[in-house]
Amino acid sequence: MKLERLMAITILLLNRKRVQAQELANRLEVSLRTVYRDLETLSMSGIPIVSYSGNEGGFEIMESFRLDRQMLSFDELHALFTALRGLQSTQAMKRHNMDRLLEKVGALVSKAEREHMADTDQVAIDLTPWTSGAASGALYEALHSAVQDKKLIRFAYTDGNGEETERRVEPQMLVLKGYTWYLHGYCLKRDDYRLFRFSRIRDLAILPDTFRRRSLPLAEVNERWEAAWRQESVDLVLRFTGKAVVAAMDQFDPADMERQPDGSLIVRTRHYYKDFESMIGFLLSFQTNLTIIGPARIAEAVRQSALDVAGLYEDEERGGRP
């Protein structure tokens, strides 16, 4: 406990110009007497702590002193700091743990470099999903705890076809892909590794049974991920107009795009999909601002799906008539 306090005091003093003893006592939840003893211990260990009296008094570390950051350059530290702030927008670490880690990294930067870092701060990473709530945070905490403690879990899961099954899983790791969290685990029902999307997990229960973690290299996890989303492919030629032009620019590779004199956009791309219905739904989302030039079977499938939707509301209209 004392070692943690000494480290916390050192980091605070390295990151702040001057800190009063009472503030240190409040933050560390100890007495003023303990703070003074800790400051004396740090001074005796070679850290140059200077005290100032008066209303603006307090303790600070000599300007010339900083922790040894070994082989990290300023640019590398800047990149590390930016990446950590990006992780701060996720649930990958508890907020107070992430704040503490940022303080430790900040302690490796001199005052002059810190000011330069603020002037050159040109990149921000925000991985926060557009929609999230307390329920998703609670699910993350529960799954993270199960992964750490190697506890078997049970939950109801709805797959891409809408089928719900009960799963018993050995949780291996949590994966953030884009804005979406997944659980990677060994499914005892399928007797193989599976990826489970958080939003499809229901009725999670952490069981008392523990398991021995299976060895699966991260590279193989990524290969399985790619295979799951690249089960089928089709070469598409699409023409976008109106507002769909901007939407297409968000979805497709610029190398596959060709702007037309009339303002429309032609996209020639190989589209990978996991199931046919999801791909058709994706194309339908562009509504009347998309023309499928080819292949004809995809155009026909989209046409038929649109007719099915229209027929659904026609049936409702007929049913409502006297």
pLDDT by residue (tens digit) across 33-75? 888 888 888 888 777 888 888 777 888 887 666 555 444 565 6
Any residues with CB less than 8 A from the CB of 236 and at least 6 apart, and which? 267, 268, 269, 270, 271, 292, 294, 295, 298
Are 107 and 67 spatial neighbours (Cβ–Cβ below 8 Å)? yes
CA distance 158 to 16: 50
Instruction: Please give the average per-residue pLDDT across 78-103, as a whole number.
Output: 60
Residue 188 DSSP symbol: T
Overall fold of domain 2-61? Arc Repressor Mutant, subunit A (1.10.10)
Kindly list the domain boundaries of the chain, sorted by start residue: 2-61, 74-119, 134-227, 232-317
Query: Whole-prediction pTM value?
Result: 0.53
Angle at 307 between CA 302 and CA 308, to 5 degrees: 95
Q: In the chain, pLDDT over 70 holds for what percent of residues?
A: 68
**In the CATH hierarchy, which fold is given to the domain comprising 134-227?**
SH3 type barrels. (2.30.30)
- Among 63-72, 100-109, 239-248, the range scoring the smallest mean pLDDT is 63-72
Provide the percentage of residues in the chain whose pLDDT is more than 90: 29
Give the chain's largest Cα–Cα span: 93
Q: What is the architecture, at CATH level 2, of domain 232-317?
A: 2-Layer Sandwich (3.30)
By DSSP bridging, strand 49-52 and strand 232-240 are: unpaired
Render pLDDT for 107-161 as a digit per residue (tens, 0 to 9): 666 655 665 555 555 555 555 554 555 556 788 889 989 998 999 999 999 987 7
pLDDT of residue 267: 95
Q: Are 302 and 285 in contact (CB under 8 A)?
A: no
Give me the helices (H) in the chain, please: 2-15, 21-28, 32-44, 74-88, 95-106, 111-119, 134-149, 218-229, 244-251, 276-284, 296-320
Four-CA torsion 113, 117, 119, 121, nearest 10 degrees: 170
Give the torsion sign (CA, 26, 30, 31, 37).
negative
pLDDT tens-digit map of 274-299: 778 888 999 999 999 999 999 999 99
C-beta contacts of 47-55 below 8 A and 24+ residues apart: 47/10, 49/13, 52/18
Terminal Cα distance for the chain, rounded = 79
| 295 upstream amide cis, omega within 30 of 0 | yes
List the structure tokens of 292: 């499928």
Give the Cα separation of 299 and 286 in Å (integer): 13
How many residues are recorded in the chain?
322
pLDDT tier, 81 (very low <50, low <70, confident <90, very high otherwise): low
The residues near 88 (Cβ < 8 Å, ≥ 6 apart) are: 95, 98, 99, 102
Is a pLDDT exceeding 90 seen at residue 193? no
pLDDT in the model for residue 165:
95
Q: Please, what is the Cα angle at 177 between 152 and 281, to 5 degrees? A: 105
Q: Which two tokens stand for residue 266?
A: 């032609």
Tokens representing residue 273 in the block:
């999909």
